[in-house]
Amino acid sequence: MERKIQLKESDIPRQWYNLAADLPTPMLPPLGPDGKPITPDMLAPVFPMNLIEQEVSTERWIDIPEEILDILYRWRPAPLKRAVYLERHLQTPARIYYKDESYSPPGSHKPNTAVAQAWYNKEFGIKKLTTETGAGQWGSALAFGCKLLGLECKVFMVRISFDQKPFRKIMMQVWGANCVASPSSETNAGRKILEEMPDTPGSLGIAISEAIEEAVTDSSGKTRYSLGSVLNHVLLHQTIVGLEAKKQLESAGEKLPDVIIGCAGGGSNFAGLSFPFVADKINGADIEIIPTEPTACPTMTRAPFAYDFGDTACTTPLLAMYTLGHAFIPPPIHAGGLRYHGMAPLVCQCIVEGLMTPKSFNQIKCYESALLWAQTEGAICAPETSHAIAAVIDEAIKAKEEGKEKMILFNYSGHGLMDLTGYDAFLSGKLIDYSLPDEELEKFTAELKNLPKAEIRKSGKW
Amino acid sequence: MERKIQLKESDIPRQWYNLAADLPTPMLPPLGPDGKPITPDMLAPVFPMNLIEQEVSTERWIDIPEEILDILYRWRPAPLKRAVYLERHLQTPARIYYKDESYSPPGSHKPNTAVAQAWYNKEFGIKKLTTETGAGQWGSALAFGCKLLGLECKVFMVRISFDQKPFRKIMMQVWGANCVASPSSETNAGRKILEEMPDTPGSLGIAISEAIEEAVTDSSGKTRYSLGSVLNHVLLHQTIVGLEAKKQLESAGEKLPDVIIGCAGGGSNFAGLSFPFVADKINGADIEIIPTEPTACPTMTRAPFAYDFGDTACTTPLLAMYTLGHAFIPPPIHAGGLRYHGMAPLVCQCIVEGLMTPKSFNQIKCYESALLWAQTEGAICAPETSHAIAAVIDEAIKAKEEGKEKMILFNYSGHGLMDLTGYDAFLSGKLIDYSLPDEELEKFTAELKNLPKAEIRKSGKW
């Protein structure tokens, strides 16, 4: 039995899968400041029209341009691996497979969409992309994508990360991006904040405001903004992960998985793996699909389904999603990518439908799982990815208890080589668990009452 | 054309290749303190007898135990990749292939021997391994190997690296190793130095002394020392790299390479790739084989061939090799793995024979090459690996100038994600070039005159 299931370049998926085509109930539309559904042209100053078209598309299959594949071949098709060493350790009858997305040069699944977005922007005549980044995983992926396509890239990095995590900043510079600490003196939004609070550590909300301002105020009209998760087109670009996995499982003589797991912050790596299988579930397949999140940021497991802003600065359209409230202040847990207050609307609609069953994990259990992974499978995973592994271990133990030969598939979304301080805190006993208290949840979600109400649309089939 | 040439597990080489069997002239023996050749039993307190047997073996093929392969399958067979993006950028007619050894969990080729050494030690009844590490690449590989085989591991890490490069130390801890700053208070050697120089930054020489002392003074007799390069058995374990590459080139329809390139510090990644092809060259194939090194530490290109100690503390047997002198103090260049004063005796004998043609590169050219690599191929290489890439680019440009369709093969020995400070220095213009001045070379090699003279044995066929 091969532990690494490889695909040839010639077997790479040539179309992305768009779940919007198969949803049993239609999505709620994004709303503008007037509470009315926004139209594509309202997004035109922020995104290029070809990506806006993807954002609203309900076509089931969308061709992947050959030029994008030519770039992805640097690391794709990514291997599907069998976690035999973990299986042996757990003495589980379960077969555990995972897509290894840590092989991309920036070290995660993020470049799958960064490259695609850079390509569509270039195709539309755009010369420069702006974005924000927290710990730097998305910023480095976009820097990478822009460099390979010859676009300029400017990344507004939250100041505290800029100062404390210099390595991802250096990565971005290696790929030619201009990475500045946010708030910066280069935008009105940044200057205003710096005047009021010169010592602020910054926030993702401020960085988003700066990145959008820099995009929409470029008088040449050749700059756009880029987002690394949440939106439909971003999730679409990630479906290559699940589509590859399907082919690989087939070539290994496997049928559909019994359980599919992925960590979900904005939802993109999880959706990328699971959406092609959600289609099978809609068609009757018996698959348990589990997005996982931290107990510290329990968007899918405890937050209401409501219309909310995508950013803390209230500049985006209102999205119908599970949300802890745009004013949510995440606790300082180590999985920086899982601290977002909302969740991709497509993922949320699947949860509403009952197609997915989210679970939450505290960070000590996640690091215990990551350590067991490193000491059996060998590799050091990202703190985000550990939230998937924690669920995988639970499911494998359950399979053992039930004596069932389940097949589990999960997304190994990235490596943890740039995030070792979390391991250090865990190993030295300094890590603390954190579950969001009820009163905090109530406080942060209180403001949602002042926004349009999101109607729950449910087919009732799951 | 596939850019990644994969091997199946079932096609992994099942024997290592031992170049000692095919050398046209026999190696000079290691000498003891009395100037006489050492015998295997003299090494027994330091290494287990099964590895000592490999060290002195002249068998051409040595079986790889199945249990070692079972561990290596975590990342092996490693892909052979074609650097099409760099080829396009250089507009070269050369075909550039590379073995990607950065896929191992510790991120380099080092675990190929770390796992093997841990296995042979365990087989011999050993419970614990000690070693030294500078920047931490070898220490993290041995920690990884020991954890997977259930051995204890203690790493003496040069104090300045321990303090300034905390991330590799955390990696070692994730894999369960005990990593201490050297000099430490845990050995006589360490305590003595600390008493004399409490603020010393430490050195690899001190760390070696501490690691060997801890191994040989364990009264249970269950502790041994482990070395990550230079020795014959270490190079032997790395030949799996070149043997895989041979099979992969064949499956891609290629014949033997015209040029083979690898960076060489102690020589192990370079030997691992090249030795199986040296056998072809001995048998008449026309292959240029180029080990590369920094101009700051020009062991192969400028140092004399002489008997010298393997360590700065003069505790090892005398080895016949190119050496800058055991007292050589390397300048603070960023390629920490290429600062060793000596070179693997097997590699040196090949150079003496004319089977290899070493070249040296200054570090700014190497970082320029690494940057071009990152901006074309995508990945960020280790500073050591950049010394191979610099030579690859030179050869590819030469092929273009000559209009020759050369095939170039090199070893991509590791990624640079833990070594980004060197890129930062380069990008911010703070990096300086350094070539060893003649008077320094003379000063450091002066002491070699007091040691036994190494006779040059050359068949004269190359």
- The DSSP result for B316-382, as a single string, is SPEEEEE-S-TT------S-GGG--SS--HHHHHHHHHTS---EEE-HHHHHHHHHHHHHHT---B-
C-beta atoms of B380 and A176 within 8 A: no
For residue A140, give the DSSP letter.
H
Among B2, B85, B171, select the one facing A8 at the smallest CB separation.
B2
Tokens of B204: 């690899």
How high is the pLDDT of residue A130? Answer: 98
| Chain A residue with Cα closest to B370 | A174
Instruction: Give yes or no for a cis peptide into A183 (omega within 30° of 0).
Output: yes
Nearest Cα neighbor of A73 from B298, B3, B101, B82 is: B3
| Of the candidate ranges A257-271, A392-406, B203-217, the one whose mean pLDDT is the lowest | B203-217
Residue A39: count of CB within 10 angstroms of its CB: 12
How high is the pLDDT of residue A5? Answer: 96
Among B6, B166, B424, select the one facing A170 at the smallest CB separation.
B424
Among B3, B170, B374, select the one facing A424 at the smallest CB separation.
B170
A74 interfaces chain B, CB cutoff of 8 Å: yes
Å between B147 CA and nearest CA of chain A: 7
For B199, residues 6+ apart whose C-beta sits below 8 A from its C-beta are none
Tokens of A348: 């949320």
| Chain B residue with Cα closest to A84 | B74
Question: In B170-209, at which residue ranges do the beta strands (DSSP E only) sit?
Answer: 178-182
C-beta atoms of B74 and A174 within 8 A: no
Q: Which residues of chain A have a CB within 8 Å of the CB of B431? A: none
What is the rounded distance in angstroms from the CA atom of residue B270 to the CA atom of residue B411? 7
| Chain B residue with Cα closest to A378 | B105
A459 interfaces chain B, CB cutoff of 8 Å: no
A49 interfaces chain B, CB cutoff of 8 Å: no
Contact B243, B147 (CB under 8 A): no
C-beta atoms of B170 and A427 within 8 A: yes
What is the rounded distance in angstroms from the CA atom of residue B162 to the CA atom of residue A430? 20
Give the 3-state secondary structure of residue B259: strand
Nearest Cα neighbor of A149 from A178, A111, A179, A181 is: A111
How high is the pLDDT of residue B204? Answer: 85
B8 interfaces chain A, CB cutoff of 8 Å: yes
Across chain A, mean pLDDT equals 96
Among B2, B105, B375, select the one facing A175 at the smallest CB separation.
B375
Contact A103, A75 (CB under 8 A): yes
How high is the pLDDT of residue B135? Answer: 82
Chain B contacts in chain A segment 298-337 (CB below 8 A)? none
Give the 3-state secondary structure of residue B29: coil
Give the 3-state secondary structure of residue B61: strand
Å between A179 CA and nearest CA of chain B: 13
How high is the pLDDT of residue B395? Answer: 98
Q: Could you read off the pLDDT tens digit of each residue along chain B, which spans 462 residues?
A: 789 999 999 999 999 999 999 999 999 999 998 999 999 999 999 999 999 999 999 999 999 999 999 999 999 999 999 999 999 999 999 999 999 999 999 999 999 999 999 999 999 999 999 999 988 999 999 999 999 999 999 999 999 889 888 899 999 999 999 999 999 999 999 999 999 999 988 888 889 999 999 999 999 999 999 999 999 999 999 999 999 999 999 999 999 999 999 999 999 999 999 999 999 999 999 999 999 999 999 999 999 999 999 988 888 999 999 999 998 988 888 888 898 999 999 999 999 999 999 999 999 999 999 999 999 999 999 999 999 999 999 999 999 999 999 999 999 999 999 999 999 999 999 999 999 999 999 999 999 999 999 999 999 999
For residue A336, give the DSSP letter.
G
Helices (runs of H) and strands (runs of E) counted in chain A: 17, 15
Give the 3-state secondary structure of residue B15: strand
Q: Assess whether pLDDT exceeds 90 at residue A306.
A: yes
A124 interfaces chain B, CB cutoff of 8 Å: no
A21 interfaces chain B, CB cutoff of 8 Å: no
Task: With residue A346 as reference, give the H or E element that holds it.
Answer: helix A345-353
What is the rounded distance in angstroms from the CA atom of residue A441 to the CA atom of residue A328? 8
ipTM: 0.97
For residue A349, give the DSSP letter.
H
Chain B contacts in chain A segment 76-95 (CB below 8 A)? 85
Beta-bridge partner residues of A224: A129
Start-to-end CA distance of chain A, whole Å, equals: 36
One DSSP character per residue, B105-157 reads TTSBSTHHHHHHHHHHHHHTT--EEEEEESSSHHHHHHHHHHHHHT-EEEEEE
For A65, residues 6+ apart whose C-beta sits below 8 A from its C-beta are A119, A123
Q: Determine the angle formed by the axes of helices B49-56 and B232-251, rounding to 10 degrees.
A: 70
A389 interfaces chain B, CB cutoff of 8 Å: no
0.95 exceeded by pTM: yes
Average pLDDT over residues A314-338: 90
B156 interfaces chain A, CB cutoff of 8 Å: no
How big is the CA angle at B383 (ends B165 and A136), to the nearest 5 degrees? 60
